Structure 1
Amino acid sequence: MAQETFASKISQSLNRVSSRNGICGSDVHIFQVPFVKVPTATTPDPLTGETLPITMGHEFSGTVVELGEGADGNKFPVGQNVIVEPIFSCMKASCGACTAGTRNLCPLVNCIGIGGFGGGLAEYITVDELLVHRLPDGIPLDIGAMLEPLAVSWHCVKRSEFKPNDTVLISGAGPIGLFLLKVLRRELAQEHGATLVVDPLSTDVVNATMKATDGLGVHIAFDAAGIQATMTAAVQSVRARGKVVNVASWEKPPQIDLNLCLLKEITILSSNTYTGDHPDMLEAVAAGRFAGLEGLITGKVALDDVVEKGFNALINDKDSHVKILIHP
């Protein structure tokens, strides 16, 4: 019944060829130990009705090769390069999250390439027109495949209510952490915009942060790492009435010192994927506000090498890789 309800909400579809697909941190977690919403071989996703195996990939760009009946050929002509906003939800009138325009918070929310509906590692995929966005002219498909995690960071910065001249701590130098730097639009002091880079294995993050902020602490601490040490440092590093923003998925929920949060009146909030953020983000991309994104691409791999040069490279050589793209 849930599957029929969801299907009834799909108005048009686009057949398209997947050209570039980025490997997400969530993909790596699923590859190792599934802990996000993944169907099993016997338990289907409640919306897609699919069980394993599922074709993976939710960070992808591609080119329209065929239109479904009723699709907007003016907006999406054959040959148009596009990106996909991969999250889908129940879209039921009884769902408070979906009706409020926050389908990213629907209890049944999932992603193309995780819950089913094909995935970016497929040669071809059919996608609901409502989830497709034109790639701005002049933006290559490689960059297009990186705009899904950029949207995650864009939404996160909006949630934080960041203001110019706010000081910020970002824990986690993976794709989301580096995209956060891009969205925050700091002046380039180091390669991707950080004014201070600290190795948490050899340096006390809290002391370094306090020293850099004249003992006040930062206005906002973003946790894009998802480990206990980074959350602890985030709470300790924000100033009075500062904010801690969680944008990480946790295998084990962290412990948070609520007494310290009380004494400093810290605001703790979270950011989950995105909702309605793509148009503004793509406008900013088209305006050239995210120069240098190609520098975050540390590998381009053929589909046959996706395990060894894709997943295993990200697992075993984290220091050398940020974003690896797969060409299906």
Structure 2
Amino acid sequence: MRAVKYYGPGEMRVEEVPEPSANDTQIKIKIAWCGICGTDVHCYMHQIPFTPSTVEPNKVTGETLPIIFGHEMSGTISELGPLVDKTRFSVGQKVVVEPTIGCMKPTCAACQAGTLNICPMTGSIGLCGFGGGLAEYITVQQHCVHVLPPNVPLDVGACIEPLAVAWYAVKRSEFTPGQTVLICGGGPIGLFILKCIKSIDPTSQVFLTEPSQIRRETASKHGATILNDYSAPLSTTAPTFSSPSSDTQTSLSYLSSQILSYTNKIGVDLAFDAAGVSSSINLALQSLKTRGKLVAVATWGKMAEVDLNLVLKKELWIGGIYAYTGVHPELIQAVADGRFKGLDELITKRIKLEDVVEKGIKVLSVDKSESKYQCSKCNNL
């Protein structure tokens, strides 16, 4: 079969590899769609900690490079291992894969509690080994597989994995209808946080700030009140789509003052950082009401410079989430129930498997701001 093999930063290609077979408690899936994640692009550009190298195997999978890539996948069951629960699964079912993996050691408190996402050795199928979704077939353990209801199409199914990150973040935030929200960062995860908030309360006021004009326009279409770029210069008029500036502090003061004016000088109840830069964190802190809550979602390349005096003086709470755990069944049901409108509109480009490297990964590594490449899907048929 064909598969995208990752050899390390800057080296990824489509190759012929052996087609897998399901063993024991494994399920074999014919891949329909697989998303290109921002992490995939980071791997192409730089070595990241939890991926294996050519000499250092991943601690969970035991695999070294090269590995098959892709973890945002959907498809149909083509084979069941002899020990798979036949009351839950059958050949032909539409499914998605929850790719999080952990060490599963009896001494690991996180894994024993079912929270593989915070296992010290946590990783993902398609980033650490065990096959990947950028292939024609994959075999995975049955506990990683979730059945899609008939009314959820497979292309939307491939959005479930990144959508689960947003759903988990909103769930951990304890958002309640009527609360005001700020989202810093309008990439795929920021947009999915917006969709999750609106799925719970369509009338909730959600503010969003993002440097890319295309992403701002997408967020506005899906119900966000758009603020100026948090790195843009001071303006004396309403928020506009200005070009970046080095005068970040002036910009932050202006943006937070705009949020205060929108919220009767109270501030927002909740803020989500989906940008992963110091300016976005500090904008969130300035914009939160007293005793408001900030949820950190984006991963960081370096330590944030945070004004902790604001945290103290306003008695703010800061929490973080890493990936997700235990939310796939309820999220899939929410999608099936029609609580998410326009998810398919966020699938902005579909490309063939053989074009993944040239038309997907390489393009995104140059310009991740292009909306047409957000949540790209690779048709592997």
| TM-score between the two structures when normalised by the length of structure 2 | 0.80
Superposition deviation, residue 196 in structure 1: 3.4
Please give the secondary structure, in 2, of the residue aligned with 1:158. helix
Which structure: larger Rg?
2
Contact 1:30 1:36 (8 Å CA) reproduced: no
Q: Give 1:87-126 correspondences, 5 Å limit.
A: 87-126=100-139
Superposition deviation, residue 246 in structure 1: 0.5
Say which of 222, 242, 245 aligns to 2:295: 245
Matched, 1:18 2:31: yes
Superposition deviation, residue 101 in structure 1: 2.6
Alpha-carbon spacing, 1:14–1:276, altered in 2? closer, same or farther (3 Å): same
Matched, 1:235 2:265: no
Contact 2:227 2:255 (8 Å CA) reproduced: no
Please give the secondary structure, in 2, of the residue aligned with 1:83. strand
Find the counterpart in structure 2 of residue 210 from structure 1: 260
Find the counterpart in structure 1 of residue 342 from structure 2: 292
Find the counterpart in structure 1 of residue 51 from structure 2: 38
Give the root-mean-square deviation of aligned CA atoms: 1.7
Superposition deviation, residue 270 in structure 1: 0.3
Say which of 122, 133, 136 aligns to 2:149: 136
Contact 1:39 1:50 (8 Å CA) reproduced: yes
**How many angstroms apart in 2 are the aligned matches of 1:220 and 1:11?**
46
5+ long unaligned stretches in structure 2: 1-22, 206-219, 233-241, 243-250
Say which of 176, 183, 187 aligns to 2:202: 187
Please give the secondary structure, in 1, of the residue aligned with 2:370. helix
Percent of aligned pairs with the same residue? 49
Matched, 1:199 2:229: yes
Please give the secondary structure, in 1, of the residue aligned with 2:31. strand
**How many angstroms apart in 2 are the aligned matches of 1:86 and 1:44?**
18
Say which of 41, 52, 73 aligns to 1:28: 41
Superposition deviation, residue 316 in structure 1: 3.4
Matched, 1:314 2:344: no
Contact 1:87 1:112 (8 Å CA) reproduced: yes
Find the counterpart in structure 1 of residue 315 from structure 2: 265
Find the counterpart in structure 1 of residue 180 from structure 2: 167
Say which of 60, 74, 77 aligns to 1:47: 60
Matched, 1:275 2:290: no
Superposition deviation, residue 325 in structure 1: 0.4
Contact 2:29 2:139 (8 Å CA) reproduced: yes
Deviates more, 1:92-101 or 1:311-320: 311-320
Contact 2:24 2:81 (8 Å CA) reproduced: no
**How many angstroms apart in 2 are the aligned matches of 1:11 and 1:277?**
26
- CA distances 1:248-276 after superposition (whole Å, capped 9, x unpaired): 01111212111111111110000111111
Please give the secondary structure, in 2, of the residue aligned with 1:235. helix
Aligned length: 319
**How many angstroms apart in 2 are the aligned matches of 1:282 and 1:11?**
26
Find the counterpart in structure 2 of residue 256 from structure 1: 306
Matched, 1:325 2:377: yes
Contact 1:58 1:112 (8 Å CA) reproduced: yes
Superposition deviation, residue 72 in structure 1: 2.0
Find the counterpart in structure 1 of residue 93 from structure 2: 80
Please give the secondary structure, in 2, of the residue aligned with 1:43. coil
Q: Report the residue type matching 1:94 in the other structure.
A: T
| TM-score between the two structures when normalised by the length of structure 1 | 0.93
Please give the secondary structure, in 2, of the residue aligned with 1:16. strand
Contact 2:24 2:82 (8 Å CA) reproduced: no
**How many angstroms apart in 1 are the aligned matches of 2:338 and 2:49?**
34
- CA distances 1:189-220 after superposition (whole Å, capped 9, x unpaired): 94112133433333643222222212221111
Query: Following superposition, which runs of at least 4 residues in structure 1 exceed 6 angstroms of deviation?
Result: none
- CA distances 1:148-203 after superposition (whole Å, capped 9, x unpaired): 01111111001101111111100111111111111111537941121334333336
Contact 1:11 1:129 (8 Å CA) reproduced: no
**How many angstroms apart in 2 are the aligned matches of 1:327 and 1:311?**
15
Q: Give 1:147-158 correspondences, 5 Å limit.
A: 147-158=160-171
**How many angstroms apart in 1 are the aligned matches of 2:118 and 2:24?**
22
Superposition deviation, residue 11 in structure 1: 6.8
Superposition deviation, residue 136 in structure 1: 1.2
Contact 1:13 1:71 (8 Å CA) reproduced: yes
Contact 1:20 1:61 (8 Å CA) reproduced: yes
**How many angstroms apart in 1 are the aligned matches of 2:323 and 2:124?**
10
Find the counterpart in structure 2 of residue 4 from structure 1: none
Superposition deviation, residue 36 in structure 1: 4.1
Find the counterpart in structure 1 of residue 235 from structure 2: none
Find the counterpart in structure 2 of residue 303 from structure 1: 353
